[in-house]
Amino acid sequence: MQVPSLLQSLTTTNQINTMRAQLTDLQTQLATGKKSQSHAGLGVNAGLVLDLRAELNVMDAYIRTIDQTQLRLTTVQQSLSRVDDIAAEMRTASLTSGYETIDTKQTQLQYTAAERLEEVLAVLNTDIGGRHLFGGAATQTQPVEVYDTVINGDVGRAGFKQIVSERAQADLGSDNRGRLQIPVPAGDTVTVTEDNAPPFGLKFDAVSTDLANVTAGIAGAPQALSVQFAAPLPTDGQTINISFNLPDGTKETLTLKAITTGTPNEGKFLVGADANATAANFQSALARDVEILAQTSLKGASAQRAATEFFEYDSATPPQRVDGPPFDTATGLRDATTTDTVFWYKGDNTTTPIRDSATAKIDDGRIISYATRADEGPTRDVVKTLAVLAALEFPDADPLSQRAYDETTQRTGKKFAFNGTTSIADLRTQLALKETSLSNTKDRHERTINATQVLLAETENADTNEVGAKILQLQNQLTASYQVTSLVSRLTLTNYI
């Protein structure tokens, strides 16, 4: 037998050390479940792992953005749901409410409207973690003023009540005739002229009549209605219909019926002995009914118009108010300023699309716009209409109050129904589509993450069964190597001989 050389001993020792290093690495793999503790140890797969982890980080960031956006939209939807419920409640109440004041000037419906307006304004100031949701791009401050400031104003700044009062004076005029000039006729012709105040009062729309031998027409600038009587005179039951345009865009028709005997109550005029007397009677009846129309229908329409001028504005067009005093002879509007008028909405009010005021990147090349603003059409209309009910007064002492109240509540009932305009429900549907898109995108990202994690695991993770088998094999090899080395280390020349 040949005694092993020193080189052979060193080779055996190196082999043992290599196996021990391999065993340590395999034991680390078994403990951590990873093929390598560094990217370098992954060899050609190192770049793939880096790319996969970068993809996971991007997907995680998108999902966090989506979750945050979904939370905001969910809160907005809950807020809008309450506003919609209030609009539905007030629509029914407006159309069914009777006139019965509880403080000699306002009804229970109006007190309820004030409470609901206060609630709506609070809802529109909703925030999440200090981020206000109804201010568009302006998220750090409350977007709307509180109820008392909006309705009553504050030091030096007019609130909505004052704006309504000024507008009513401008629309009704000092004689409550809707800024119409209705002089006593000098002969057989009654002439009624609009005041030279384009924005205010009653404006002629059309006239029609079946009165015998009566010539009626509207002409001129400002417009004037001319009604001329001639013999033979009108007979019982014949009528003339005069249609007016009101400040809120609605129309009202005043009808006068001829009678030959009896008392000419509202809606009637007495045919006189001749054309001149009939013209005088017609003028008196027309003036009376115009005053009634002005203090009922025109009062409600004026308040609606005041609401539009007070609540609807943007960065390019400020709120409008009557250029006065005096207000009952005013001929135009002026721009309100922040020093003399309450600006109820204080958020972002640029003329750019509202949704674009807040955006979220939710995928590569995909940005969703989701901003909401308190001054957006549907929410603003609810605020406007509640404010009209809360601000107006209908004193018990005024015999026309009930009719004025009925005219106003019919108008507000229609406003709460959103007829022909975008409703709160429409707005919620728009936002629901955003929510659906977010949810679908999140699902897709989660599927991508799952697939990426599977591939990453296949690339990074060790097969524990395979590792265990290799450990056992190495342990057996090491045991054999240690035994051989031990025998060799005890072998001497004496033992060998």
**Beta carbons within 8 Å of 239's beta carbon, 6+ residues apart:** 209, 210, 211, 255, 256, 257, 258
Instruction: Return the CATH class of domain 62-144+345-442.
Output: mainly alpha
Position 30, amino acid: L
CB 382 within 8 A of CB 112: no
Residues of the chain with pLDDT under 50: 1, 493, 496
Tell which phi-psi region holds residue 243, choosing left (phi > 0), alpha (psi between -120 and 50) or beta: beta
Give per-residue pLDDT as tens, 195-207. 988 899 999 999 9
Q: How confident is the model at residue 344, as a pLDDT?
A: 98
Pairing of strands 189-194, 180-181: antiparallel
Q: Which two tokens stand for residue 148?
A: 């008392």
Q: In whole angstroms, give the CA distance from residue 333 to residue 347.
A: 25
Tell me which residue of 230, 233, 238, 240 sits closest to 188, measured CA to CA: 230
Q: How confident is the model at residue 41, as a pLDDT?
A: 53
Burial environment of residue 144 by CB neighbours within 10 A (0 to 12, 13 to 18, 19 or more): buried
Q: Which two tokens stand for residue 29?
A: 């793999």
- CA 387 → CA 162, 325, 382, distances in Å? 12, 23, 8
- CA 251 → CA 155, 242, 244, 291, 292, distances in Å? 37, 10, 6, 16, 15
Query: Where are the strands (E) in 323-479, listed by range?
Result: 333-335, 359-363, 366-369
Pairing of strands 359-363, 366-369: antiparallel
Q: How confident is the model at residue 496, as a pLDDT?
A: 47
Tell which phi-psi region holds residue 185, choosing left (phi > 0), alpha (psi between -120 and 50) or beta: beta
The domain segmentation of the chain, as residue ranges, is 6-33+462-496, 62-144+345-442, 146-331
Q: In whole angstroms, give the CA distance from residue 79 to residue 134.
A: 10
Give per-residue pLDDT as tens, 122-132. 999 999 999 99
Residue 42 DSSP symbol: G
Helices 299-311 and 377-391, interaxial angle, to 10°?
130
Single pTM value for the model: 0.84
Q: How confident is the model at residue 454, as a pLDDT?
A: 81
Identify the bridge partners of residue 361 per DSSP, sorted by sequence position: 367
Q: Which two tokens stand for residue 441?
A: 């995108």
CB 478 within 8 A of CB 20: yes
Residue 131's CB is within 10 A of a number of other CB atoms, namely: 14
Instruction: Please tell me the number of Cα atoms within 13 Å of 224 on its side-chain side.
Output: 14
What is the DSSP annotation of 344-357?
A: SB-S---SS-GGGG
Q: In whole angstroms, give the CA distance from residue 265 to residue 288.
A: 10
Instruction: Please tell me the number of Cα atoms within 13 Å of 468 on its side-chain side.
Output: 3
Q: In whole angstroms, give the CA distance from residue 391 to residue 160.
A: 7
